[in-house]
Structure 1
Amino acid sequence: MPHVQYFWGFPDETTMDGILQLHNSIFENADELLEKASKRPKLLFVTVIEQDKVVGYKIGYELSADRYYSWYGGVREEYRGKGIATILMEHQHRLVREAGYATIETKTRNKWRSMLILNLKHGFDITETFYDDDGIHRITLVKGLIDKKGSEMSWI
């Protein structure tokens, strides 16, 4: 049975190795991830573990005192379509909301359509599209986490 673990800051070495292996199988830039992550404030790693193996992860960091960025995430191919990405997202959003952040932001690409659809299904709004420095079309999405009364909300 899979279980969720989370870490404010870097996880233990075994968990980090599992995240990096999975990350590299999807994005092929694990070394770059480690370098960039070491410079990000208030990192949060959320993982789904099954039989001592990382089967999914989500990483985020603080953009400002009230805004959090959902950065990277992935699920092992053989576990896709089983709700793991939703579990990761829901845990990340709950933890970020409990930490006092009012909004969460993410960026994706058209090629990651399943992530784009998942974000839209879970209350994100598309706020911008642009071409990055490499000429890749990117999509910015934002979701409100707390309304003015301090209650949870699922849209901006």
Structure 2
Amino acid sequence: MECINIAGFPGQRLLNKVLSLHERIFKDSATLISKAKHKPKLLFTIGLIKGEVVGYKIGYEIKSDVFYSWLGAVDENHRNQGIATKLMNEQHLYIKAKGDKTVQTKTKNKWRNMLILNIKCGFDVVGIEMDKQSEPKIILEKYL
């Protein structure tokens, strides 16, 4: 699998492939686009196999040296192949080289695979907050 990092929005063809994957998994690519337009220093880390998007991570800067890893997904047909781990590692190498010292993310208990992956990759649980539906979100941080 090839990983690419794109600061800002990718070209339309690649963006459409990311949105298609996002829609299949989360059923709401329109919200992704509307929210992403307002994120500072947006970064797409995209996993490709033979030109097809098999996974992505999207994040943005929340402070001058803190990066927020916002969204990620791997195509159902390509799961359990280490793609999420590779995307995370690529994202972290890129942001560390850009000067970020900390990466933060949030997840929920219902997304246990993501929670476990974050912990395996060196994240620490630093807090919990409630989302709009009063469901707890686990806040994790990792020093780069």
When normalised by structure 1's length, the TM-score is 0.90
State the Cα distance separating 1:6 from its structure 2 match.
1.4
Residue correspondence of structure 1 range 22-101 to structure 2 within 5 A: 22-101=21-100
Q: Which has the larger radius of gyration?
A: 1
SS at 1:134's partner residue? coil
Give distance in 2, aligned partners of 1:136 and 1:41. 26
Which residue is equivalent to 2:104? 105
SS at 1:59's partner residue? strand
Give distance in 1, aligned partners of 2:130 and 2:43. 27
Choose between structure 1 and 2 for higher RCO, CA contacts under 8 A separated by at least 6 residues.
Answer: 2
State the Cα distance separating 1:129 from its structure 2 match.
1.4
Give distance in 1, aligned partners of 2:55 and 2:44. 11
When normalised by structure 2's length, the TM-score is 0.97
Higher helix share: 2
Q: For the Cα contact (< 8 Å) 2:8–2:44, is it kept in 1?
A: yes
Give distance in 2, aligned partners of 1:18 and 1:100. 29
Q: Runs in 1 of length 4+ with deviation above 2 angstroms?
A: none
Give distance in 1, aligned partners of 2:65 and 2:58. 17
Residues 53-96 of structure 1, C-alpha deviations (whole Å, 9 max, x = no match): 10000000000101000000000001000000001000000001
State the Cα distance separating 1:130 from its structure 2 match.
2.4
Length, aligned pairs only: 144
* Percent of residue pairs identical: 44
CA RMSD in angstroms comes to 0.8
Give distance in 1, aligned partners of 2:20 and 2:6. 18
Which residue is equivalent to 1:12? 11
Which residue is equivalent to 1:141? 140
Q: Please, which runs of 5 or more residues in structure 1 have no aligned partner?
A: 146-156
The residue type equivalent to 1:86 in the other structure is T
Give distance in 2, aligned partners of 1:46 and 1:130. 26
